[in-house]
Structure 1
């Protein structure tokens, strides 16, 4: 409860509220007759917000942002469906599968920046139940031919109803003023077959006697509105209540999922147009709360200057390739491997053997173009027998190849129609049980002989070479000169993956991926499990000790510098996570009697709502900004040396930049500034060493010939998590680790004052002119 004026009753007041319609009314304190107590909370001086607006150099207290967010939310909360900071409107909605509705909404949140408070606004979308009679919803949901089928539902249909509709609010149609009730379950029996306890009266008779209502369909199923099933109503007397979110976790239809994603993917120009309608719909200028608090909002999106880093060339064995629009042409791999002998398993019963052999020939040609030596040009084909399960087939393949070649195969290529269950089972058996690398190919793509066939085969070759231990490409030496020319450095990516809601007994999976080569392009993965929903990596010491030992075994020296990219951390946990994991890194070196390294700890986030919209002259083919866009001013934190980097090409929808927040920096990467030449203005600009290195680290993800949206080691940590999900849950324990070759003073910056800007006479340490170049451009941000 929030007020901009002092209430007459002062600091405390209590009063009764009667909601019961009974006569006589129930005593005070019982159901339907409540005692409301109001106690005054802490007051918020609105002047502190004005002080922050006038003096952005000051660090605002958390209360400034929190209370301003409350003022901002009050008006739309009273008129729109909302969840958290997301408010949903009717404009632009779309009926989805006849019983659900896709609705757009607006995300809005006040953020403290180096230039003062800013409202971050973006669009969002989700599914709602359509307000309609429950009987019509059930008929559409179960795809029944007519309503008479409601009298003979089977157990499978009843299970579907309980899974989707349990917990949904409904309103009784025969009692217009009654409060909504929650569905607890369904009963196949009709109202004429369910008798109320005590008097033997059926539900049908009770409704007729109590409400003088004759049922039209007394044999149709009933709905339980209480846990003890004592409150039962016929389905014909209920309707879905308004403004109810559909639980997206209940989606089990890939077609639905694709349609929802398509609805949510909006081109940049359209996304900006819709977002610009948000301030009016959210009543920024009309809200009494905002007006009384003296808060005014500029509805126009912010215009600010950005820099665009030139693409980072990637090196191959026979030269280099320069990215264009974030992608580049494949060449001979930097370190190509050899395939001694291999096999092809065909799970698609409709794939003819001659067509599969033609694909194998194209795949062999693609691998050899990329530099892979294929000693066995005609691998054996193993079609799946209809009577075999996957385990029997793979056991047979391995046994047959061991008998013929006296050693396991180098690779198994699986031709599959795309069933997810087969993919999971084959990966688990091949990668974990048999220890043989596996590569899936979709028959719908692999067996087509068209213009895209050669490109598809080269993409498969990329993945095969990495799984065999090779390196496809590396960032150009000039882009990572600070890494190559200094003391040995290990790049680490770390992430945690938590169980879904209602899976409280499942563990959190923590993973790291660490580089083992000088070009920071070859990574190993380490995974542990820990208590569910624990963000801090509990086994960081053990994992880092393994990483250090592996690095030393391959480089004859332990790393002297650590570049640690951490994903998945919310703003409120920056300090706690950084403190704990930095201490763990140091402890690992101490336990191994190694010299303490210089550590740079960066938190990378993607789950934010900031979007950048470039001028027409600066946009790519999709309407997004080109890869390499950097913003480290105006909208950044007043505390951290953070920056936003758009490193990948937008293909569909509006690109989301990464948000990099350096928490601890002993390597001087945030203060070591490049001097770079800007064009066409021929001015000298500043680019921090960390920004350039982070951009380069998005160009060494070995599975694609394009820059990616976050540094590659974080992607590899995510791959490690995915591999762990293939291990049966009963095989995991809290102390176990899964490895895979993939292919407080420590945080003093958290309490430091607002970071300095970078004018022409920047006082930070300057390096010699970099070969990277940038150019100025204007972007619009919401």
Structure 2
């Protein structure tokens, strides 16, 4: 906290700024108090996921501890105060200094330019606007010259229907040139926030000069500014230099010897030629920087007016007065808010009379911290809701919970002080913004940012740092605690002085009770079960409700009143765009003896059905293991009997109807692993055969027990397992037993159903699904951040029903599958495929999930290049490869007309769109293959980026749609092609194979550890790194796995 704001800010910082040299002048703290206020109307994310923080920047000290050399402003009791630190002795509320510009230049010298005129300017587009939905070729650079497949034609099969889509056509375009300008300011110290440029632009002086310049006279047209370094206008001027006195703008007296004057420099850089955009949309021109410049201009144009009236966060807008929000937990620390999603998109509407541009408008549901209340209350409530045993704590109890705790080193067995679990949670507030409330002002505009919380038990002992032991030195030489300072300076007697002190990004400190967290700060962490359920309930709306909400959002965007759209001649149709869709013919589902025609219902059931292919490996050597005495033996036996009976009626090959029932007591020790080994051996001995599969009855959904059991059984013994929940075991419903039977049957080599009388493949064909998942916010183990997990699934039969899976860690935050990983996990899978099918594949369909347009080229030039090499080396042939990217991360929704949708207003399974919302000439389409259980259905966007197989359009679309009916553990078609869906499952399941102790990956431990302090020199966990530790090998190194079981395991659907 800085003195003029009622707190303490370290005086040494002023020595780094010109004009201060560490001296205290005129009663003001020697630090820059104005560095460009944050633009609260254009916020980004306020969180970094864990808050990297350098230990060397710690400033607080206590008895018997060492001082940080970089932070002499605080003092340990009994030590001499530093002599070069100024004292905050000025009057409360006195004007702070404004020294952003530094000193004035020497007399006779011109004002500095603020940039190096000899440096080659950055080319536009090198760091372009990330909000724009750009085509994949926009991201191709250097050697990544990958051509993307063009649309070969449109499909024609199926019933044609009319639907409305939540894209709104651009109907009017500028008919004149638009000039683009570079915006800079001078002098620029290099330490100024980027938002300061926007502050200069919005000053009264700048706005007046932009209307009437001394050199050019009255300027007829309005200006559009992107908030940073670009501006656009119909005004044609070469350069403008506007002098702005920030002291004058803020009605403040200038400081002696300190200039607070800046030049805003506006220099014409290029002309926006909309003909280039039109030519690209028509397919007659390749993508280049001129097309990018047009797209960037349009994005800022459609966002400018909404940003002035609503809170803008990336592509979303929020009404700050909205009542459409809901707390996500009982204490209301996190809340969900409905907002507006709006983004401009290029599309294929030119073919039907449009201009090739549209605005995609949707409803967005976002989580925010609950601001506007004392931080002590928010912190107490947040901690209380984060762990069951803490749910009744109050602020007084929080005092004790925040103290350091004693930990024992695993190797040396020595004790050392460490952060308490509750204290670690505070790291989630890293980079949150706050105001202070101890100066008697109800709405103080000064905003601070949380850098961390003072801790350091080596300095402050096992009490931890608090307001009565954290000291700083005044100018007078007096050393004083934060608590005494607040009492003397403001008459505030701190009630919760034992709570940790907040450190700001300016090295100031504040007591928690004097702080109010600002509203509208995104909560970027994974929600727990209760919060997720509340979020789903809040977000899910049926199609008519969502359609109405979207139209209300369009009204809130106020396109008709938008002065910027009017200025540049852009018009937008405020009605949803009608377009043509087709409903593809559903397939007939073949079971063992019967067929089922789901029609448009998209559902069927297993009653009286036998599996199309029963288990290849008969269920003979198996057992039921009761974990932690969650159910008695008779109940477990009753479930086993019911399951065996129902599985046999479905055609399952089961030789032992009554398995052995064992008990397992799980503990966080090596004894559990020994017990599991014992039960594995007992099962095998009981039937004189290697265990085929072992059931585990789980007491709850705890991930730690699940992962430990999976890791033991799969890594050590290569044995299949099936986990069942105790509540379902007690109910023992036939439907649940049937669902379990589908999974067991798949693990033992069978499948539930297939397509009847459909043959898509005339040559040996391999279908591959690839997914790379990343640990979300909070996904950190005690050993460090969780690695990205790559999974490849591969069809093993001629109808692409059964899929094997191979997995491996893929670095950290690395989305594209690394060549080393492909070399590691793919060859053996190909060999297994060739052995099973008797020959190498001639066609390969490569389904890829989770990549954005910007990574399409990397998929082709990294993944496909290496996959092709492996296929040619192992199979000794050159198969044709078709690459299809599928994504659900979009905001397109279909609203069928009357009689064309289901009873809820959702599109019927098989509804496909190729018009209006697709790319002008790339090969893409939107397919809704499933029945939405609740809410509004989200179609999958399929993008064929490379096509050597060249199936006819109708055949490819039918193949993708109809294979969604072959998902092996469902009695409905799924929303995503099964190859990708299985890759999702395998990627999640492979977490159990990580070389990390399961106890160190328990969700709660992940949750608290993500906030642990890291050195600032360490890269963020979001920075891509490829050096992750590989997974443990299935079958392990102990020699416990049976070779035949190991080979069978690898070729079956163990992950299902």
TM-score, normalised with respect to structure 1:
0.84
The structure-2 alpha-carbon separation of the partners of 1:36 and 1:411, relative to structure 1 and needing over 3 Å to count, comes to farther
The structure-2 alpha-carbon separation of the partners of 1:169 and 1:139, relative to structure 1 and needing over 3 Å to count, comes to same
Q: Which residue of 2 aligns with 1:681?
A: none
Q: Which residue of 2 aligns with 1:272?
A: 547
C-alpha separation between the residues in 1 aligned to 2:605 and 2:399?
Answer: 62
- 1:72-91 alignment runs, 5 A limit: 72-89=302-319, 90-91=322-323
CA contact (8 A) 2:585 2:910 kept: yes
CA contact (8 A) 2:715 2:1033 kept: no
Shift of 1:527: 2.2
Between stretches 583-592 and 428-437, larger displacement belongs to 583-592
Q: Which residue of 1 aligns with 2:239?
A: 11
Q: Which residue of 2 aligns with 1:692?
A: 958
Shift of 1:21: 9.9
- 1:63-212 alignment runs, 5 A limit: 63-89=293-319, 90-96=322-328, 97-115=331-349, 116-130=356-370, 131-143=372-384, 148-149=396-397, 152-155=400-403, 156=420, 158-159=422-423, 162-173=426-437, 174=439, 176-183=443-450, 184-185=452-453, 191-197=467-473, 199-210=478-489, 212=490
- 1:439-450 alignment runs, 5 A limit: 439-449=722-732
1:578 is paired with a residue of what secondary structure? helix
Shift of 1:339: 0.5
C-alpha separation between the residues in 2 aligned to 1:655 and 1:298?
Answer: 24
* Higher RCO (CA < 8 A, seq sep 6+): 2
CA contact (8 A) 2:483 2:497 kept: no
Q: Which residue of 1 aligns with 2:576?
A: 301
Q: Does 1:649 align with 2:924?
A: no
Shift of 1:662: 1.1
Shift of 1:190: 5.2
The structure-2 alpha-carbon separation of the partners of 1:359 and 1:592, relative to structure 1 and needing over 3 Å to count, comes to closer
Shift of 1:92: 1.3
Return the index of the structure with the highest Cα Rg.
2
- 1:283-682 alignment runs, 5 A limit: 283-324=558-599, 325-330=601-606, 331-337=609-615, 338-347=618-627, 349-385=629-665, 390-418=672-700, 419-449=702-732, 453-478=733-758, 481-483=759-761, 486-500=762-776, 507-539=787-819, 540=822, 543-592=825-874, 594-669=876-951, 672=952
CA contact (8 A) 2:502 2:512 kept: no
- Select which of 497, 500, 504 maps to 1:219: 497
CA contact (8 A) 2:844 2:879 kept: yes
Q: Which residue of 1 aligns with 2:518?
A: 241
Q: Does 1:718 align with 2:950?
A: no
Shift of 1:336: 0.8
CA contact (8 A) 2:647 2:738 kept: yes
The structure-2 alpha-carbon separation of the partners of 1:304 and 1:500, relative to structure 1 and needing over 3 Å to count, comes to same
1:569 is paired with a residue of what secondary structure? coil
The structure-2 alpha-carbon separation of the partners of 1:233 and 1:585, relative to structure 1 and needing over 3 Å to count, comes to closer
CA contact (8 A) 1:222 1:233 kept: no
1:108 is paired with a residue of what secondary structure? strand
Q: Which residue of 1 aligns with 2:968?
A: 702
- Select which of 31, 38, 48 maps to 2:265: 38
CA contact (8 A) 1:510 1:528 kept: yes
TM-score, normalised with respect to structure 2:
0.63
CA contact (8 A) 2:665 2:672 kept: no
CA contact (8 A) 2:317 2:339 kept: yes
Shift of 1:624: 1.6
2:934 is paired with a residue of what secondary structure? coil
Q: Which residue of 2 aligns with 1:779?
A: none
CA contact (8 A) 1:526 1:737 kept: no
C-alpha separation between the residues in 2 aligned to 1:379 and 1:406?
Answer: 13
Deviations, residues 172-191 of structure 1 (Å, cap 9, x unaligned): 11265452112221666654
CA contact (8 A) 1:528 1:736 kept: no
Shift of 1:460: 0.1
C-alpha separation between the residues in 2 aligned to 1:592 and 1:349?
Answer: 49
Q: Which residue of 2 aligns with 1:680?
A: none
CA contact (8 A) 2:645 2:657 kept: no
1:514 is paired with a residue of what secondary structure? strand
Deviations, residues 398-436 of structure 1 (Å, cap 9, x unaligned): 122233333321111111122221111111111222211
C-alpha separation between the residues in 2 aligned to 1:570 and 1:301?
Answer: 26
Q: Which residue of 2 aligns with 1:772?
A: none
Deviations, residues 425-458 of structure 1 (Å, cap 9, x unaligned): 1111112222111101111122115xxx111100
- Select which of 511, 526, 530 maps to 1:255: 530
CA contact (8 A) 2:346 2:920 kept: yes
CA contact (8 A) 2:751 2:802 kept: yes
Q: Does 1:741 align with 2:1051?
A: yes
CA contact (8 A) 2:927 2:939 kept: yes
Deviations, residues 638-674 of structure 1 (Å, cap 9, x unaligned): 12121111011100221111111112222221xx25x
Q: Which residue of 2 aligns with 1:748?
A: none
C-alpha separation between the residues in 1 aligned to 2:656 and 2:875?
Answer: 47
The structure-2 alpha-carbon separation of the partners of 1:53 and 1:538, relative to structure 1 and needing over 3 Å to count, comes to closer
Shift of 1:41: 6.1
C-alpha separation between the residues in 2 aligned to 1:487 and 1:586?
Answer: 18
C-alpha separation between the residues in 2 aligned to 1:247 and 1:464?
Answer: 37
The structure-2 alpha-carbon separation of the partners of 1:169 and 1:635, relative to structure 1 and needing over 3 Å to count, comes to same
CA contact (8 A) 1:428 1:727 kept: yes
The structure-2 alpha-carbon separation of the partners of 1:46 and 1:172, relative to structure 1 and needing over 3 Å to count, comes to farther
C-alpha separation between the residues in 2 aligned to 1:178 and 1:98?
Answer: 25
Give structure 1 stretches of 5+ with no counterpart: 674-687, 744-782
Between stretches 130-139 and 256-265, larger displacement belongs to 130-139
C-alpha separation between the residues in 2 aligned to 1:467 and 1:293?
Answer: 62
C-alpha separation between the residues in 1 aligned to 2:934 and 2:921?
Answer: 34
CA contact (8 A) 2:789 2:987 kept: yes
Shift of 1:593: 6.4
Shift of 1:308: 0.8
Deviations, residues 254-313 of structure 1 (Å, cap 9, x unaligned): 211221122122222211111111122123232322222211111111112211112211
Shift of 1:368: 0.5
Deviations, residues 546-602 of structure 1 (Å, cap 9, x unaligned): 343222211211111111111111112223322433332332233246221122211
CA contact (8 A) 2:347 2:916 kept: yes
CA contact (8 A) 1:701 1:707 kept: yes
